[in-house]
């Protein structure tokens, strides 16, 4: 099982797309292991996007991400990082394939609705930033039907 950080960005919250966006991940079969509405501080935004610090779009990105609340969630599943990136679609809404979150709900190059960790290392780092309190452990009844228990859930 892999875990990933997903952020429903300020545009998703302000446009009333939290439910529909969250549903995409949930329906796919990802388990929600943490979830909260929060405002991102400039300090947290700087840590989260430190790899982009020198990019031209960085000041606007930090301004956008701190302008209004986000929904932060931790999702779990086999190959969760790749699956979430596929559900999100390409970075720019105009390029993102139909059927993806960014492809279906946006056109912008910066207001693109959702963030997802892009590697296992990034996921560990980002989850620690957004959920220092840790994730919520529980048995997910649906796992026995989302995965083949014999082939996929055996330890």
Considering the candidates 3, 9, 31, 115, report the single residue annotated as catalytic.
115
109 binds ligand UDP, rule: CB under 6 A: yes
Span from 76-84, 108-116, 130-138, 141-149 in contact with ligand UDP (CB under 6 A): 108-116
The sign of the CA dihedral 104, 96, 58, 21 is positive
Beta strands in the chain (DSSP E): 2-8, 31-38, 70-77, 114-116
Query: What's the rounded Cα separation, in Å, for the pair 132 and 112?
Result: 26
26/118 with CB nearer ligand UDP = 118
- Residue with nearest beta carbon to ligand UDP: 110
Between 18-28 and 80-88, two packed helices, what is the crossing angle to 10 degrees?
140
110 binds ligand UDP, rule: CB under 6 A: yes
112 binds ligand UDP, rule: CB under 6 A: yes
Judging by beta carbons within 10 Å of its beta carbon (0-12, 13-18, 19+), is residue 102 exposed, middle or buried? buried
**Of 75, 92, 72, residue with least CA distance to 83:** 75
Q: How far is the CB of 13 from ligand UDP (least distance, A)?
A: 14
Chain residues in the site for Mg ion (CB under 5 A): 118
52 in catalytic set = no
Binding site for ligand UDP (CB under 6 A): 52, 57, 61, 91, 109-110, 112, 115, 118
Catalytic residues: 115
């Amino acid at each position: 099982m892999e875990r990933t950080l997903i952020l429903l960005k300020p545009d998703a919250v302000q446009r009333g797309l939290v439910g529909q966006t969250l549903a995409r991940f949930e329906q796919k079969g990802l388990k929600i292991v943490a979830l909260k509405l929060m405002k991102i501080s400039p300090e947290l935004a700087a840590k989260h996007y430190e790899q982009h610090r020198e990019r031209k779009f960085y000041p606007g990105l930090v301004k956008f991400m701190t302008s209004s609340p986000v929904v932060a969630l931790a999702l779990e599943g086999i190959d969760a990082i790749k699956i979430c990136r596929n559900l999100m679609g390409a970075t720019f809404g105009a390029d993102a394939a139909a059927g993806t979150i960014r492809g279906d709900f946006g056109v912008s190059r910066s207001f693109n609705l959702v963030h997802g960790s892009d590697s296992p290392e990034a996921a560990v780092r980002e989850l620690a930033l957004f959920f220092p309190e840790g994730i919520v452990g529980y048995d997910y009844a649906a796992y026995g039907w989302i995965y083949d228990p014999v082939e996929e859930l055996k330890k």
